[in-house]
Structure 1
Amino acid sequence: MSLKFRLASRNLFHDRLRFVATIVGIVFSIVLVTVQLGLYAGFRRMVTTMIDHAQADLWIMPTGTKCFEDPSLLDERQRFRALAVKGVTGVTPLVIGYAQWRLPTGTTTPVFMIGAELDAASLHPWNVVAGRLGELAIPGAVAIEQSYFSRLGVSSPGDTAEIRDQKVQVVAVTKGIRSFTTTPYVFTDLDRGHAYTGIPANKASYLLVRVAPDADVDDIKRDLRASLTDVEVLTTGEFRDRSQSFWLFGTGAGAALFGGALLGFIVGTVIVAQTLYSSTKDHLNEFATLRAIGSSSSYIYTVIIWQAVLSAIIGFAGAAAVSGAVVSMTADSALPVTVTPALTVGLFLLTLVMCVGSAMAAIVKIMRIDPTLVFTR
């Protein structure tokens, strides 16, 4: 094995310029695939961030709701019918909608309001880094994300603005609750959520249902569907899947990201295949000699595959360094590149497949060599 590895490394490093071109091709393709898949993973996580942080076992929503940000309305009287279902321990209304945020300078910008009952399990701000969440009970209090400070014209808790000609004051600041649509999320209590969005007091966007610990969620979902009309009842997992399916495939965003990743894989494979093929062609006499002295096909296969594996390891190391820098630079952006441990392992295996697959063209060329070629030199 050591002899095969040594021969493979010498063939690979013999032409430094070609070796550098190979590594650059691998790095370029893997970074492109990483960024595209990282954007997909980040986008997939962001489109369900509100659903994931809501304290609900079941969601009651208007029929046809496509995602969390779909501002449809249902009659809040459905809440009392839901509470009458056996096994339901709580039903909390949630109000969402768009509003205009007026900066102290007089300019306006759209925001996405989330109004929830503060003293009940619902959807509340998380990762609070300044101010206190309890102060949302103060009239006119709101919580915002720190990355939107400049857009909203505020710099710290205590700053004020206006929504629908009503004064609001920032009392809590969060970190990391960003919207993939770039419209800032603004949290407040339920009553002010109605007022700021203009939604009537007897309407709600969602009803968040909590069930007893010993109850069967599927049975309660079935009973709720039988008791309520003109609504849908989904588990948190079902609502998450629906939202992801709408944003990733219903809008074409997922197809675009996958297309970019596929393009990077194809480009990298072609570059590596061309380089390995050229390297093998330059060493035809050496491989012919090996075949003439009786080296087995498997021995030659192993040498070429080792060249591919070495290229994959070195190229992936360079791609990982560049991708790490990209992840750091986009961490606070509207759509960060997210690279998970599972994605890292998958990308390494993808690099190996790309390089070893590229080596097949070189192997085919070697197997067509006439061993007597060495005696005609």
Structure 2
Amino acid sequence: MHSGPAPELLTKRSLVAVSHAIEQAALATAEDGPLLVMALFQRMPYLERELPVWARIAATAAVTVVGVAGQRLEALPAGLCGVALGDSEDLAREWSVIALTPRFGAALVAYDRAEVEPAATLESGRLFEGRWAFRRDEALHEALRLRERLAERLPAPVRAAVDDVLLRVRDLPATPGETRGEAALRLVFSRAERAVRARRATGPDGGAVTAKGGPTLLDEPGMRRWTDADGVTASGTLPVALVGVRVDEPPGVPERLGRRTTGREAQALIRAVTAPLRPVDRAVRLTDQEYLLILPSLTEEQAVAVAGQVHEAVAGLAQSYPFVAFAVHAAVTVTTRRPLPVADVRHAVAWAAREGVPVARLAPESAEAPTGP
């Protein structure tokens, strides 16, 4: 936007709240038409979740345009004009919702940072940079920008309808007092955001299990919930590094160490495997010997460094358990696929153990040909 407050850091959770507010404003009955609504959804699953609402918007608006990257848009509800975006163009990173009439305007424009903050789920913690406003001139500015960027991809009748609304909006001055209403909305949104953050800071991590005396791990159902595998998520957005770890110990260790010592050893091992994790990361215990570290936004080299830290931390256990020689093997990949390619990582870890490779790297996204470090 060309005026108003500076861009701010926004979570997906807050963007959803603002988006829904603009959608409800577009659906409200008012004698201030014609109404132009434009939105960019990044990927199709995010639009599919909202299609019933957007079908209602398209049924009442003069023109409704939505953009999605990664696939052709077909069989959309009547009145909803879909624009296919290229995966590599900057509009594919954008989350935008704009509603505009001669007497009303609201706009949200945010750009995906491909980062996360600690949150109840991986999706809800995604971070964007942008801003929003319930002011007509701000919405007009953003509508003009998208009209220029999408012009050649809009069918001629849709382009003419967009231009008609923009011309009528330009002919009228903005409504006085818009900033008063926006100030009240900002107070409501900021208080709701603080309340959610406070609950998250004190609430348990859903799906987590804790080894006695050790750090918190996710089980596989917990991993599916945290990664939104059964909810609304999409491939092609947030990159996630995966580090699969397998720790084998010589046979006969429980008999030689005794039950109590073996329990302490297991707790120490879990602490070693999870030592490099940041607050946004998660660890999953797949079996007694297998772990999966989920590291949002890390590069492959950074993930390889994490695998090296795990090797060093496990090797350091020899000071406390000198008669136990742990064998550690790991596999690393960075993916934007959803659901996460957990099976591919486990296969690569098994390959690394068979071949005696300390850290295997999976081929980018294909995850079919692990290679040595």
Higher relative contact order (CA 8 A, sep 6+): 1
The interval holding the TM-score normalised by the smaller chain is: under 0.3
What TM-score, normalized by structure 2, do the two folds share? 0.25
Q: Which has the larger radius of gyration?
A: 1
Greater strand share, 1 or 2?
A: 2
Calculate the TM-score normalised by the size of structure 1.
0.25
Q: Which has the higher helix share?
A: 1
